A = this chain, B = another copy of it.
Amino acid sequence: MAGDKPNLRWGVEQKLQFIEFRLFWEGHVNRSDLIEQFGVSPNQASGDLNRYIALAPDNMVYDKSGKTYVRSSGFIPLFLKPDATSYLSQVRSVAEGIVASHDSWIGSLPAFDAPPAPARGVDPKILRTIVIAARRKEAVEILYQSMASPEPQWRWVAPHALAFDGFRWHARSFCEKSGEFRDFVVSRVIETRHTRPSSSSPLSDAAWHEMVVLEIGPHPDLSPNQKRVIELDYGMHEGRVSITVRRALLYYALRRLGLDTDPAARAPQDQQIVLLNGESVRELAA
């Protein structure tokens, strides 16, 4: 019956996916939804809805009383794989203004909030310069405000990767001034000037390529039941789980997991997890 997706044009495929997205997440679709989202005529929207029914007859019925198409009980997505992470990521992006509401397919946005991350914004042109330099394996001259010097200084760096520490974006780069690979906070780059070919190889960034394994387990002072729940939360087996992280990001990973302080600094219920191989890991942290 259904199942054979003919070669559809991109625009048509998008509209069918949209119908399915709304059916799954909201339970219903309207002709007017298509009109708003894609700017098509009522006429065309009718056609698209009926095309969807023709391709997936068991997924959707028209509810005359509700004046809307509703998902039927035997709904099986045909054009989309429903994904909670992606939906939640969209919720966050729309709520935080990263994505305009009309660019998202979510029709009725759930109320949402998250603890704010008060980090300065990144200038798109500066970011572009860094990204392009990384791609071309070039060095770029940046005016950088470091923690060490009072005034911003020009220096040549050869970026090769981006990293996010939870708050700030970093450009992992070879710094010609210090002769080392370092993290540069992108929002501390005031300006960029020239670029030129770079002789440094990203492969020599040992701290970036070397992986560290963190062994974590539930806090020993939790009750057996609390331990079990934490194990479920973190996907632990037999009281432990391994997390692999680049040595260059180890500091941020420990901080993010709340493992950069003495485990006694928080109550066990707040701390939740502890590092099981702390001795071998902590000496690697920068």
Contact = CB atoms under 8 A, between A and B. Distances in A.
Contacts of A116: 243-245, 253
Nearest to A125: B82
Contacts of A187: 233
Contact of A229 (B135, B145, B233, B244): B145
Nearest to A93: B89
A108 interface: yes
Interface residues of A, number: 94
Given A118-B235, A160-B111, A241-B118, A147 B225 contact: yes
Interface in A18-65: 24-27, 38-40
A127 B31 CA distance: 25
Given A84-B124, A128-B24, A249 B114 contact: yes
Contacts of A24: 124, 128
A232 interface: yes
A163 interface: yes
Contacts of A110: 131, 134-135, 161-162
A85 B121 contact: yes
Given A38-B10, A188-B232, A86 B115 contact: no
Chain A interface mostly: mixed
Q: Copy number in this complex?
A: 2
A198 to B, nearest CB: 15
Contacts of A261: 261, 265-266
A119 interface: yes
Interface string A249-286: 10011011110111001100110000000000000000
Interface in A111-158: 111-125, 127-128, 131-132, 134-135, 145-150
5 contacts: A25-B128, A112-B162, A113-B249, A147-B225, A188-B233
Given A24-B128, A114-B252, 16 more contacts: A24-B124, A84-B122, A88-B164, A110-B131, A114-B249, A115-B166, A116-B245, A117-B256, A119-B233, A120-B234, A145-B232, A147-B225, A147-B269, A150-B225, A168-B233, A261-B261
